[in-house]
Amino acid sequence: MGINLEIGSGGNPQPGYIHLERFIHPDDRHLVDVCGDASFLPFGDGAFDSVLMFGVFEHFGIFEIQPVMLEIIRVLRPGGTFKFDVPDFDWFIERYIDPSKLPPGRGDSWVLHAIFGGQEYPGQFHKWCWNERRMREFLMKPN
């Protein structure tokens, strides 16, 4: 399986990964292997076979995310894989405008949490919104 890194694992770390977190909730300290910033990863070049970053992109502003991507590229071995996801801004806005499209048991506060973050402690603020078009444009942009 190789050596794998998960950035921003929070309280839901994936098995088989080194877990890096910048803002560690006290209840989750035992789940984090490395306290660090994704903009300055404390690992050598090509150290990882894969990197995961689920629900983390939105925690960086539009001008902060490029250094993060360059760091991920730096620590990935040639041919390594990077998997990520982000809340789809268009999907959540559509459900905010038309609550009848919300999943059962979900309401406005769930939508607002997905858009703006939980905001309960440092690191839980979303600084940017992504949709498929914006993500594609960002990923296709030359360094």
Q: What is the mean pLDDT of residues 47-51?
A: 97
Containing structural domain, residue 73? 4-87+123-140
Q: Is 109 among the domain residues?
A: no
Phi, psi dihedrals of residue 70, rounded to the nearest 5°: -65, -35
Within the chain, strands assigned E span 4-7, 18-21, 34-35, 48-54, 76-85
Q: What is the mean pLDDT of residues 121-139?
A: 91
Q: Is 94 among the domain residues?
A: no
DSSP annotation of 88 reads B
Q: Is 64 among the domain residues?
A: yes
CATH number at residue 29: 3.40.50.150
Phi, psi dihedrals of residue 59, rounded to the nearest 5°: -85, -5
Q: How many domains does the chain have?
A: 1
- At 121 the pLDDT is 85
Q: Is 20 among the domain residues?
A: yes
Q: Is 118 among the domain residues?
A: no
Q: Is 99 among the domain residues?
A: no
Spatial distance between the Cα atoms of 141 and 143, rounded to a whole number of angstroms: 6
Q: Is 107 among the domain residues?
A: no
Enter the pTM of the model: 0.88
Mean pLDDT of the chain: 92
Q: Is 95 among the domain residues?
A: no
Q: Give the angle 138-60-93 at the CA atoms, nearest 5°.
A: 75
Taking CA atoms, 14 is separated from 42, 68, 72, 131, in Å, by: 20, 20, 18, 25
- pLDDT band for position 27 (cuts 50, 70, 90): confident
Q: At which residue do the structure tokens 């839901």 appear?
A: 12
- pLDDT band for position 1 (cuts 50, 70, 90): low
